[in-house]
Amino acid sequence: MKNEITLQTRREFLRRTVLGSSLAWTVPAFLANTFTALQAESADSAIQTPTGRDATILVVLQMAGGNDGLNTVVPYANDFYHQARPRIGQKAEDVLKLNGEIGLHGAMKGFKALYDNGQLSIVQGVGYPNPNRSHFRSTEIWQTASDSDQVEKYGWVGRYFDNACPGADPAVGVVIGSTLPESFFAAKPKGIVFNNPQNYRFMANGAATEESYKKLNELELSSPLPEDNSGGSIAMLPAGMPMTGGRAVDFITRTALDAQHSSEEVRAIAARVQNQAEYPPSQLGGSLKMVAKLIAGGLPTRVYYVSQGGYDTHTNQLGAQQRLLGDLAESVKAFTDDLKAQGNLGRVLVMTFSEFGRRVSENANGGTDHGAAAPMFIIGNQVKAGLLGRYPSLAPADLFQGDIKYNVDFRSVYAAVLENWLKTKSAPILGKQFIPVPVV
């Protein structure tokens, strides 16, 4: 079936289509050569993805730096724990007890409330085989969902977009920050990135300048966008990686178009929507506050990405982690309150991750060194609440080089989120079939 296209100019086309409809965003990039194909693709309802206006939404929350899981979900009744951590161990009377053995760090009252409401699922002992203790490598493993001895070019969220969201609006992914996380790297990159909606725009001294800017940035591509768009990026430089085709300027042209249109949409929502909860005045609080607005404003987003840094607590961990976990719990609690007031809590799921946990034994500086497995938090109205999986053994004989061993592969959690929440097959995205952990 071939659709007749009556299209004078791309510019006119852009003006006529409704912003945010699946075609308005994607067609310009492909127009010159693949318009017809895309039209057909989009008309095929079998692969049309629901948008964030009505579908489920995932919020990925990165705890960067390697959060100390043992002092977050605390095995307060475990003697090995206290022996390994005479100075920084959390005492039984200070933790927020979940049962006779496990408690949350005392600063996480917001999470305790979610737990008591049946809105918090804690997956214990999450990691992967042959753990890597390098920040960037382990982050990369989590972001790309690769085996630890393999380097993947694309991120797991990016592969979700490639596999399950063809022809989707670029705002199918939104990153609050300034750079694109590796999990969003994709063969056909999607996703908009910004940190401050006020500044997320072209600043023009006059209407004529703005008009000219728009015309200059709505242009045909010199060549079709290549399937593989990693040209010039040197993520790991494995020997013999092939030269990739395509012009860099085409990628930028598409990004420019995405920027132009998403900027208008984002600022309109930011100005229109009011938050309905009080957030902490932190960076994470601000990011989640923005995400809540965008959800209320009906952006067609499936995956949001926010991050909180500072978890690399080699020295004087107690105060730093207290502040970070308190901020995390308060921010996420405010976010869920806000979504509840909006009536959107039922279709939003928050998932946290950190590149690794930390060594069981504290170090000489009142901190902890890079470790391995750690818990993940899944938050939402439809989670399977409670503690999932087993707490890894802390008995010295059970440790590997001073680290606890993982019980749950993080990709089993990703698989659950992909299959049971985003409603797509996980194997094509994760490279193989992982058995989903029943978090949702």
Could you list the residues that contact another protein (CB under 8 A)? Answer: 134-136, 151, 170, 175, 177-180, 185, 189, 192-196, 199-203, 205-206, 208-209, 212-213, 215-217, 219-220, 229-245, 247-249, 251-253, 255-256, 258-259, 262-263, 283
3-class DSSP state of 399: coil
Tokens representing residue 311 in the block: 């978890």
Taking the least distance from each CB to another protein, the nearer of 68 and 312 is 312
Least Å from the CB of residue 433 to another protein: 26
- How do strand 303-308 and strand 192-194 relate by DSSP bridges? unpaired
Least Å from the CB of residue 424 to another protein: 25
Please list the residues that pair with 400 across neighbouring strands: 403
Taking the least distance from each CB to another protein, the nearer of 1 and 243 is 243
Taking the least distance from each CB to another protein, the nearer of 144 and 382 is 144
Residues 20 and 266 sit within 8 Å (Cβ to Cβ): no
Least Å from the CB of residue 330 to another protein: 19
Taking the least distance from each CB to another protein, the nearer of 196 and 316 is 196
Least Å from the CB of residue 376 to another protein: 22
Least Å from the CB of residue 270 to another protein: 14
Chain centroid to CA 431: how far? 19
Taking the least distance from each CB to another protein, the nearer of 41 and 228 is 228
Taking the least distance from each CB to another protein, the nearer of 175 and 345 is 175
Tokens representing residue 264 in the block: 């208008």
Residues 171 and 25 sit within 8 Å (Cβ to Cβ): yes
Phi, psi of 264 (to 5 degrees): -65, -45
Least Å from the CB of residue 205 to another protein: 7
Least Å from the CB of residue 312 to another protein: 10
Rg of the chain over all Cα atoms, to the nearest angstrom: 23
Residue spans of beta strands (DSSP E) within 311-430: 348-353, 374-379, 386-388, 408-409
Taking the least distance from each CB to another protein, the nearer of 209 and 316 is 209
Q: What's the one-letter identity of residue 75?
A: P
How far apart are alpha carbons 405 and 373 in whole angstroms?
Answer: 6
Phi, psi of 315 (to 5 degrees): -130, 145
- How do strand 303-308 and strand 120-127 relate by DSSP bridges? unpaired
Least Å from the CB of residue 325 to another protein: 20
Least Å from the CB of residue 24 to another protein: 15
Residues 279 and 31 sit within 8 Å (Cβ to Cβ): no
Taking the least distance from each CB to another protein, the nearer of 82 and 135 is 135
Tokens representing residue 433 in the block: 């079939």
Q: What residues contact 47, with CB distance under 8 A and at least 6 apart? A: 41, 166, 167
Burial degree of 179 (CB within 10 A; 0-12, 13-18, 19+):
exposed
Taking the least distance from each CB to another protein, the nearer of 252 and 271 is 252
Q: Identify the H or E element spanning 292.
A: helix 283-296
Q: Identify the H or E element spanning 40.
A: helix 22-43
